Structure 1
Amino acid sequence: MGGESGVAVVPFGGGTSVVGGVDPDAGGHRAVIAVDLVRLSGLVNVDEISGEAVLQAGTRAPEAERLLAEHGFELGHYPQSFRFATIGGFAAARSSGQNSAGYGRFDAMVTGLRAATPTGDLDLGRAPGSAAGPDLLRLLLGSEGAFGVITEVRVRVHRTPAQRIVESWSFPDFQTGVDALREVVQRGGAPTVIRLSDEAETGVSLAQIGRIGKALAKGASALTVFEGEDAQERRARTARLLAGAGGSSSGRRAAEDWMRTRFDGPYLRDALLGAGVFCETLETATTWSNLLRLRAAVTTALREGFAAAGAKSFVMCHVSHVYPTGASLYFTVLAGLRGDQLSAWEVVKRGAGDAIMDAGGTITHHHAIGRDHAPWLREEIGDTGIRILHAVKRELDPQGIMNPGVLIPPEGDDD
């Protein structure tokens, strides 16, 4: 696959990585090429009885949903990168979409995949459940092209929802909202989407939708979405739990506005950068009992980091992925940086990454490792974990041509 020629290979899907996952790095080889999977696109088959579909890895998410809809099905995976990201990229990065509360993360949707590696092909996922040794399928999910090229993905799909109900909620403060979300996920409210914005994000987002939004832009806010034939029943159950935990329904307007604009965030960031306002994001996750501590630690690290760079900052946070035992935290920061914004952000990001690890969070919940997060991977999975990844790398890619520098540091590199 290029080893004899001294050429490194970077698998390229939609190019939506925000952590340096597809940066062209020759890694000591004489050249590097991108393997664009754009022509490896399409629906291979749909098993309507089993509720599974096989999609080629280069299929972009909107095209996948269009093809599945022709058979009355959908995948229902909607990350903010939806418009350009690919099925193979979702698998390679262990993506988590906005409908994760209802349909799960993408790695939970994957039931099988095929991959081409420099030392041989892999065809994994023979049955829905198996005890045939460790699950090798999981080695490829999240591998970011470091072991080979994912070519096909078999996924769990569901019938196109017949009904959708949305509702917005307000809470006195972020902590009350966090406790409410925990009640919902632990006691079975079963929304398809549930999101909670802190006071800062609530003030920014709701103030944009007119007089109603300005009136609601106090405290924290949440939105819920329910899909399927039993959507009304699940909405009623969730509403009882949220109200019982201190929430107040604020109608549909804010939730409808979010549904309409939910993929527009990256373009707003570019517009802000063009206007001289620095804007970036980062995310993590932890247990419910540690969530507020982690949020405080990261917020402090971001504010202090920008202050040291001579810039005022504005930090927003939301919860967008929930589990029975914990949740994610997604931070957006605005700052009035002058001069070399990238160098300043690298320092701030290091401080935030250290704060995440010190406070017991994961260095990434759904943005993957790439090159940007690689310095913290050893702390997260330990020396033995790093040795395992190197062993897999040596077996599948002995000449180290697959996406050099991504995910795991070169052997002997302790940085």
Structure 2
Amino acid sequence: MMRWWGWGEDGHDEPLPPGAQALLRAEVGELGPRRDHVALDDVALPEARLPAELRERLVAIVGAEHLRDDRITRVRHAAGRGYADLVRLRAGTLAGAPDAVAFPASAEQVAALLRACSEARVAVVPFGGGTSVVGGVEPLRGDCAAVLTLSLARLDKLVAVDAASLTATFEAGMLGPALEDALREHGLTLGHFPQSFEHSTVGGWVATRSAGQASTGYGRIDALVVGLRAVTPSGEIATRTLPASAAGPSLRELLVGSEGALGVIVEVTLRVRPRPAVRRYEAFSLPSFEAGADAFRALVQAGAAPDVSRLSDEQETRVSLALAGGDTLQAKALRGYLSARGHARPCLSICGWEGASEHDVRARRTAAVRVLRAHGAVALGTGIGGAWEHGRYHAPYLRDELLAHGVLVETLETAATWSGLGALYDAVGAAIDGALRERGTAPVVWCHVSHLYRAGASLYFTFAARQQEGAELEQWHAAKAAANDAIVAHGGTLSHHHAIGRDHAAWLPGEVGPLGVALLRAAKATLDPVGVMNPGKLLDPAPLPGAPAA
């Protein structure tokens, strides 16, 4: 379980390197004095309002020890880990909290809980690892009498492995490390490694259409789902585990990405692979972001893309080098070497290959390097690539450290076709920059390509600025709204892998159209007729924190 006020677990935090501090001072101004989070006892919690009669019924379903409303449990389940969540958690000013948290141990208990809450008109928020960065697990009541968070932590088992079909079935509450440990005993891997891997669950991945850092090679989670079981207030839906089907529109596709708004995913069958024997991660420099994008397009369209294919723009490369110790002799020598090779403003690329043998990895690498060099790439070896692999889950801890120094730091991601990628990149970056400069808090904005497709790629933006003291959420909302407006206007998707949640819901009609929203609402009306499932997310958005009054 993550610490209640921030990301992950204690013992992984590190002070900002001097190079990073110097870069931030130059870009956003002096860092503020360190401000720690409030004590748990100082977090303002609303009084629990779960009706007594419903409480008795829920206790009868899961047992008294598995229905909790103590302070730490309510706070731990009161928010995800987006920027707005962390600002409120650290300040102790939560907008709300679940009235209770239930921990069912089976799909049957989940069904009984949903029936009871639907009859009592109490909202239900499914909760996996709590890592949502788009408000996806915020305990909103909507027009319900109370809100129950439904934790899937006890549904955490590997159910079955079909070695002949290369599939495995998992309960939805299984965390990433436990999933890989269980598959390792069978010589298998899922290969799904989002940045939240250590603290997120298989059900959360499927409910949000997650993408892992090696998804260019292994596939996004939606490409790996071959069957699932979901419990809704109206009953259970179990899709058959089949390699393919033409039996009408896919119910599986309707439930994948449904974000708990239709029901609770309790079990998933996924494609798995033999565990790779060889992994090779290395770095390359490209002369510009445009040249790097052209190289990546050529790689994926030639069928030669590495399993991990990551390209940082010039600004992200500069930030990454600063975080790695930009003032060291080694870093200065690297910059001098690249400048001499014509890379005055280099773009760092991380490429990773995984395979059954050295021969397999070497052959795939050779094909990819041939394309990269044709686009001006300079090989930087395995040192930087290995360092990236070692620290691939560390960035959220850095965000906590920046927040402690009064720095707004947020991420957002989108995707577009290759023909529209450049315009989308320019528009979103300019929108974020403009919105924050208007508030007197000039930002630094950086971006990377993280996933490749034959038709296009994703863009993952990060931005940092000095917090606008006393208006932290209004500042964040201004940047978020400007970015979403730019994404919709330039034909991108509102989310490539973070999902819609609360943060993007108001913009969903701009992507799927009014009739598309009506179709989703019709599905919700069938599966959740009372409207208790995860109110304010995906559909019928609740106002965002920091949004101007209507």
TM-score (norm 1): 0.97
118-127 vs 108-117, which deviates more? Answer: 118-127
Counterpart among 334, 338, 350 of residue 223 in structure 1: 350
Preserved contact between residue 296 and residue 305 of structure 2 (Cα < 8 Å):
no
Alignment partner, residue 431 of structure 2: 301
Alignment partner, residue 63 of structure 1: 178
Counterpart among 66, 74, 81 of residue 189 in structure 2: 74
Preserved contact between residue 170 and residue 216 of structure 1 (Cα < 8 Å):
no
Q: Distance in 2 between matches of 1:331 and 1:410?
A: 24
1:369 alignment partner AA: I
1:83 alignment partner AA: E
The percentage of aligned residue pairs carrying the same residue is 50
Alignment partner, residue 306 of structure 2: 191
Note the C-alpha offset of 1:277. 1.4
Counterpart among 373, 382, 385 of residue 255 in structure 1: 385
1:2-401 counterparts in 2 under 5 A? 2-207=117-322, 208-209=324-325, 210-216=328-334, 218-229=345-356, 230-339=360-469, 340-401=471-532
Alignment partner, residue 92 of structure 2: none
Note the C-alpha offset of 1:212. 3.6
Preserved contact between residue 124 and residue 137 of structure 1 (Cα < 8 Å):
yes
SS in 2 for 1:386: helix
Alignment partner, residue 21 of structure 2: none
Q: What per-residue deviation string (whole Å, max 9, x for no partner) do you get for residues 295-343 of structure 1?
A: 1101111111111111121001000011001000001101012212111
2:537 alignment partner AA: V
Alignment partner, residue 49 of structure 2: none
SS in 2 for 1:292: helix
Q: What per-residue deviation string (whole Å, max 9, x for no partner) do you get for residues 164-210 of structure 1?
A: 11221101111010100111000111311010000111111124154
SS in 2 for 1:400: coil
Preserved contact between residue 206 and residue 214 of structure 1 (Cα < 8 Å):
no
SS in 2 for 1:71: coil
Preserved contact between residue 146 and residue 406 of structure 1 (Cα < 8 Å):
yes
In the alignment, structure 2 segments of 5+ residues that lack a partner are: 1-113, 336-344, 543-549
Q: Distance in 1 between matches of 2:252 and 2:333?
A: 49
Preserved contact between residue 11 and residue 22 of structure 1 (Cα < 8 Å):
yes
Q: Distance in 1 between matches of 2:432 and 2:188?
A: 42
Note the C-alpha offset of 1:372. 0.5
Preserved contact between residue 317 and residue 348 of structure 2 (Cα < 8 Å):
yes
Note the C-alpha offset of 1:360. 1.2
2:490 alignment partner AA: A
Preserved contact between residue 493 and residue 511 of structure 2 (Cα < 8 Å):
yes
Note the C-alpha offset of 1:291. 0.9
1:255 alignment partner AA: G
Note the C-alpha offset of 1:215. 4.0
Note the C-alpha offset of 1:92. 0.1
> Where has structure 1 moved over 6 Å in runs of 4 or more?
none
9-18 vs 118-127, which deviates more? Answer: 118-127
Note the C-alpha offset of 1:366. 0.5
1:134 alignment partner AA: P
2:259 alignment partner AA: E
Q: Distance in 2 between matches of 1:144 and 1:212?
A: 46
Q: Distance in 1 between matches of 2:185 and 2:473?
A: 45
Q: Distance in 2 between matches of 1:216 and 1:277?
A: 29
SS in 2 for 1:394: helix
SS in 2 for 1:175: helix
1:401 alignment partner AA: V
Q: Distance in 2 between matches of 1:365 and 1:389?
A: 19
**Greater share of strand:** 1
Residue correspondences, number: 412
Q: Distance in 2 between matches of 1:135 and 1:125?
A: 11
Preserved contact between residue 241 and residue 269 of structure 2 (Cα < 8 Å):
no
Q: Distance in 1 between matches of 2:286 and 2:403?
A: 32
SS in 1 for 2:473: helix
Q: Distance in 1 between matches of 2:408 and 2:291?
A: 30
Preserved contact between residue 165 and residue 232 of structure 1 (Cα < 8 Å):
no
92-101 vs 189-198, which deviates more? Answer: 189-198
Q: CA RMSD in A?
A: 1.3
Preserved contact between residue 206 and residue 254 of structure 1 (Cα < 8 Å):
no
SS in 2 for 1:354: helix
Note the C-alpha offset of 1:147. 0.5
Residues 1:253 and 1:206: Cα distance change in structure 2 (over 3 Å) = farther
Q: Which has the larger radius of gyration?
A: 2
Q: Distance in 2 between matches of 1:265 and 1:216?
A: 23
Q: Distance in 2 between matches of 1:91 and 1:269?
A: 25
2:151 alignment partner AA: D
SS in 2 for 1:323: coil
2:257 alignment partner AA: G
Preserved contact between residue 170 and residue 269 of structure 2 (Cα < 8 Å):
yes
In the alignment, structure 1 segments of 5+ residues that lack a partner are: none
TM-score (norm 2): 0.74
Q: What per-residue deviation string (whole Å, max 9, x for no partner) do you get for residues 101-133 of structure 1?
A: 110100000100001011110110341111111
1:11 alignment partner AA: P
